A = this chain, B = another copy of it.
Amino acid sequence: MSRPLNHALRVTVWNEFRHERASAQVGAVYPDGIHEALAAPLRAAGHAVRTATLDEPEHGLGAGVLEATDVLLWWGHRAHAEVEDDVVARVHARVLAGMGLIALHSAHFSKIFKRLMGTSCALKWRVADERERLWVVAPGHPIAAGLPERIDLAREEMYGEHFDIPPPDELVLLSWFQGGEVFRSGCCFHRGAGRIFYFRPGHETYPTYHEPAIQQVIANAVRWAAPAAPITPRRGHSEPLEPIG
């Protein structure tokens, strides 16, 4: 009734794709865009991956694309406000209907993530070329499968607590920063029939998404977030199943 568990998934990688074109520094790190850096290892794992970017019509997320997407990755930063509310509403409905969503790094402030969380999603931040260590706190979680006990990143942006999200339904990774902060960096949420994973690393000036351990987390998260079976919840007025009175 449910699909085979390791079938190829239909993955859409959405990227704002502005930094890479506007900044030589970022363009040097991600010459084909962050979306292609994210897509390549998922393609190599056998998934059917397409990409979509802000400046395409409907941001590349027409109804047909979303209907044909099992898991959506989202990277955005500067232009959150330019994402049209109609597209956000469409993505929101698809997540509640079962599509997985992986919100990456500065997507914490994206319209879609804030709408799903219901909170401000504010946090502390600093760009100072500092070390980050991501520690696994749920070693049996599917998103931690095959990971070492920690992932070290030589240079990253700092994100610090308090991170204004709902208490995660599952907490997988915690970050340590050289400058003195901590952060809930790998957080699972269940909303409607959809599964959401927030994953902190990925500032555009650092080669984070080229790191194999980071790619492993994302690949695990894609598998975890994929819907297990089509869902058609029945809601609204209902006749009684037992006699009343």
Q: Quick check: A161 and B137 within 8 Å, CB to CB?
A: yes
Q: Are B192 and A164 in contact (CB under 8 A)?
A: yes
Residues from chain B with a CB closer than 8 A to the CB of A163 are 137
Copies of this chain, tallied across the complex: 4
Q: Which of A20-65 contact B (CB under 8 A)?
A: none
Q: Are A140 and B181 in contact (CB under 8 A)?
A: no
How far apart are A154's CB and chain B's nearest CB, in angstroms? 11
Chain B residues with Cβ below 8 Å from A189 are 166
A182 contacts the other chain (CB 8 A): yes
CB-CB < 8 A to A130: which residues of B?
Answer: 240, 244-245
Closest chain B CB from A101 CB (angstroms):
12
Determine how close the nearest CB of chain B comes to the CB of A90; give it in whole angstroms: 14
Tell me, yes or no, whether A138 is within 8 Å of chain B by CB: yes
Q: Which of A66-74, A75-83, A142-150 contacts B (4 or more CB under 8 A)?
A: A142-150
Contact A235 B1 (CB under 8 A): no
Task: Quote the shortest CB–CB distance from A178 to chain B (angstroms).
Answer: 5
> Which of B126, B135, B233, B237 meets A149, CB within 8 Å?
B233
Contact A239 B166 (CB under 8 A): no
Smallest CB separation, A107 vs chain B (Å)? 15
Closest Cβ of chain B to A66, distance in Å, is: 17
Known: A124-B236, A128-B240, A238-B125. A162 touches B136 (CB 8 A): yes
Partner of A126, one of B128, B177, B239: B239
Given contacts A6-B4, A133-B241, A180-B176, whether A149 and B166 have CB atoms under 8 Å apart is no
Closest to A126 in B: B238
> What separation, in Å, do the CA atoms of A156 and B96 have in the docked complex?
29
Q: Which residues of B contact A240 (CB under 8 A)?
A: 126, 128, 130, 158, 178-180
Please determine whether A233 and B133 come into contact, CB atoms closer than 8 angstroms. no
Closest to A174 in B: B182
- Find out whether the CB atom of A125 lies under 8 angstroms from the CB atom of B6: no
Q: A124, B234: Cβ atoms under 8 Å?
A: yes
**A6-B236 Cα distance, complex, nearest whole Å:** 36
Residue of B nearest to A4 (CB): B6
Interface contact A171-B161, CB-CB below 8 Å: no
- CB of A86 closer than 8 Å to a CB of B: no
